[in-house]
Amino acid sequence: MLAPPSQSRSPLPGVAKWALGWCLFIGVGAVVGTLMMWITPVGSGLDSVLPDLQKLPLGQVFFQSLAWPGFFLLVVNGLTQFVAAWSVISRRRWCGAAVLGCGLILAGWLTIQWVVFAPNPVTTIYTVFALVQIGLGLGLVRSPFPPD
């Protein structure tokens, strides 16, 4: 049943729509990356990163396979993005901070990739994605969304 007009929500403003789409896009990308690490790690080209990962602290513990990196990707860049997307959809007061935080988390993740791995197109593209998400988060923080 439809809500009475006084209880219906106004559509999301443009910056919120973009932030929502961006969070979902990056979150789905993290899920796909995780599945690639878990399902077809050998021969997919992803296994070539293991020697570099093993140089990190606790590398011999966590980076014998791509299982742990996949788990970290899912939690750090997947779950957080979906929480931020939910916060925008449900119009939480902290949704701007959540989107901004996810952009900063992604930027931090990518900073580690820039240090550990050789430059590559995927890291470059995702760096742009992180910068866009930071901008969207700042836009949401500064906007009157969600309404008081």
pTM of the model: 0.86
Are the C-beta atoms of 54 and 63 separated by less than 8 Å?
yes
Q: What is the pLDDT tens value at each position of the chain, 148 positions in all?
A: 555 555 677 899 999 999 999 999 999 999 999 998 888 766 667 777 788 888 888 888 888 888 888 999 999 999 999 999 999 999 999 999 999 999 999 999 999 889 888 888 989 999 999 999 999 999 999 998 887 5
Q: How many C-beta neighbours within 10 Å does residue 23 have? A: 28
